[in-house]
Amino acid sequence: MMKKSILFIFMPGLTLLLIGYFIQSHLLLSGDVGYLMHASEQLLRGGQYATDFFETNPPMILYLYAPCYLLKYYLAVSDATAFRIYIFLGSCLSAGFCYVLLKQILKNESAAFTYFLFYTLLIIFFILPSLAFGQREHLLIILIMPYLLASVLIFKKEKLSYSLRFLIGCMAGVGFALKPFFLVTFGLVELYGFIKNMTIIRLECLVILLIFIVYGLSIYLWQPDYLTIILPLVARYYLPFSKQSIIIFFAPPYVLFCMSMIFSYLFFYKKDRVPELSIIILLALMGLLIAAILARTSWYYHVLPALSMAYLLAAVYLGQIKDKEMKILLSFFIFVVPFYSYYAQIKYGLHTKKNHAMNQVAQFINQSGEHAVYCIPLGTFDCFPFLEAMHGQYVERFPSFWWYTGLRQQEKKISLALKANQDKNYLIKQVTIDLQRAQWVIFNNAIFNADEMIMYLSQNTAFRTEWAYYHYTTHFGDYRLYKRINIGNENDKSSIN
């Protein structure tokens, strides 16, 4: 039995883990992850929303990233290494729960079918995320997968230990709390359970609801500025202006793959040997795709949870097909067509790491010996790769100028102009405070016109005064560099502009 476990579980699992780690070691950490780790560190130091960071997401993700710093200091490794170890350890823990649950769900099926689904889960955890590794959506899948599999057993009225159910409920509660849109999946699964068994509440559901209550109270008591300052700004200037058109949203092949797997249920459900498993995966797929549709952005990491469920559902059906020709055709459809997008993600990530202009900027600033960097308006995607390459200090509190486009649009509306002007003064004041700590400003001219944005920000007197300390130094590709210089008096300052 031990040899069988080593041969079919441990060795394939270790191989997939090493492949996943090898891929991640050749990619830069996601910029979003970089900023969230920075904000998490600020939080651990007693930081507050709107005082020490202006993150748009509620604090659950910051709590989840906090253990990375324990690993970093105890193991004396880099941020990236600590983060990867942390995520892979969490993935292994979740995978262990999933294997135990899969064995019980598929006890009447062949061992090969169980192994096949387990390997699919490992691919979803370790390899599929690519550039989205460690993002909230990746963590969601890691945290809720045991809950989904446990739901299959509980709705079949099979027994699970209360301690395991409690732990699974805690994991799922944390996962669903990462983003409000994720609650759609929770609602669909629990609604199905109620319809099937007429059970109003179960242990996992109770634990999840309790976590929501405690989490909501913790925000209200310890991070009230998220509710009173950040959330209103996000609602006014970010969410309404970050959405894609329906055509663009459904254009990526991985979105179409998710849609196709939803419709495939109509063709397979009559011959399905594990219908309870399939329906839970289907409900999760629908809920997670709805979450992406509500956000109206089909970026790879936003669709990753739905894509993961689509792959798992496809594996359930593929493992049951007897016809060899059909199995080959479905395998091609499942693993080749969507993996074009995965390949594009990896290729883009490798290109970013080898970006000549970015490397030139990093080398130039390293040679200066001054590493306090402000990124306008690069956002996390560009800025944190710079910081990783130059071991820089991130001095700004915004992950990006997420408010800039929406604010300029709202200023044009007469009914909203007064409030928009008040918010503009407040936000530019915060930018100015951050600017005082920077030695370099990096500007990506491909995102916004540098001169136009500086002119807009300079409508604020405080920013205009502070910007006079910076002068254009050089550029590499689309990146323009401005260096802070010491000014002796006001006459010198005016001559720089």
Judge if 94 and 12 occupy the same domain. Answer: yes
Residues 325 and 420 in one domain: no
- For the sheet containing 440-444, what is the strand order? 393-394, 372-376, 440-444, 479-484, 470-476
Per the CB < 8 A criterion, the answer to whether 390 and 366 are in contact is: yes
132 shares its domain with 75: yes
In this structure, are 167 and 300 located in the same domain?
A: yes
Helices (H) and strands (E) in the chain, counts: 26, 5
Contact 55, 39 (CB under 8 A): yes
Q: Which of 328, 348, 368 is the last residue of a domain?
A: 348
270-283 burial string, b = 16+ CB within 10 Å, else e?
eeeebbbbbbbbbb
Structural domain boundaries, residue 376: 355-496
pLDDT in tens, 359-383: 888 888 888 887 788 887 656 666 7
Note whether 337 and 476 are same-domain residues.
Answer: no
3-state secondary structure of 77: coil
Domain co-membership, 279 together with 388: no
Q: Among all chains, which residue has been given the structure tokens 């007693």?
A: 46
Helix (H, G, I), strand (E, B) or coil at 145: helix
Nearest by Cα to 473 from 441, 495, 447, 451: 441
What's the one-letter identity of residue 454?
A: I
Which of 60, 497, 154, 131 lies closest to 346 in space, CA to CA? 131
What are the Cα distances from residue 26, in Å, to 78, 156, 352, 390? 15, 44, 11, 17
Q: What's the rounded Cα separation, in Å, for the pair 374 and 376?
A: 7
pLDDT at 291 over 90: yes
Provide the percentage of residues in the chain whose pLDDT is more than 90.
Answer: 58
Phi-psi region of 391 (alpha: psi -120 to 50; beta: other; left: phi over 0): left
Same-domain check for residues 413 and 283: no
Give pLDDT tens digits for 61-107. 999 999 998 898 889 898 889 999 999 999 999 999 999 999 999 99
What is the spatial distance between Cα 141 and Cα 445, in angstroms, rounded to a whole number? 36
Report whether 98 contacts 149 (CB < 8 A).
yes
Q: What angle do CA 412, 442, 58 make, to 5 degrees?
A: 60
End of a domain among 301, 330, 348?
A: 348
- The pLDDT value given to residue 495: 36
Residues 12 and 120: beta-carbon distance below 8 Å: no
* Judgement on whether residues 338 and 383 belong to the same structural domain of the protein: no
Number of compact structural domains in the chain = 2
- Most confident stretch, 14-28, 160-174, 196-210: 160-174
* 168 and 31 in a common domain: yes
Shared domain check, 398 and 319:
no
Query: Does residue 354 surpass a pLDDT of 70?
Result: no
360-369 long-range Cβ contacts below 8 angstroms, 24+ apart: 360/476, 360/477, 361/386, 361/442, 361/476, 361/479, 361/481, 362/386, 362/389, 362/390, 364/474, 364/476, 364/481, 365/390, 365/392, 365/440, 365/481, 366/390, 366/391, 368/439, 368/440, 368/483
Locate 134 and state its tokens: 């460690």
Q: Collapsing DSSP states into helix, strand and coil, what is residue 198? A: coil
| pTM for the model | 0.92
Q: Which of 297, 318, 348 is the last residue of a domain?
A: 348
Q: How many alpha carbons fall within 13 Å on the CB side of residue 19?
A: 15
Amino acid at 271: K
Band the pLDDT of 403: cuts 50, 70, 90.
very high
Spatial distance between the Cα atoms of 493 and 487, rounded to a whole number of angstroms: 6
Q: What is the 3-state secondary structure (H, E, C) of 383-420?
A: HHHHHHHHCCEECCCCCCCCCHHHHHHHHCCHHHHHHH
Residue 229 and residue 363 share a domain: no
Q: For the segment 163-204, what is each residue's pLDDT rounded down to a tens digit? A: 999 999 999 999 999 999 999 999 999 999 999 887 777 899
Residues 186, 316, single domain; the answer is yes
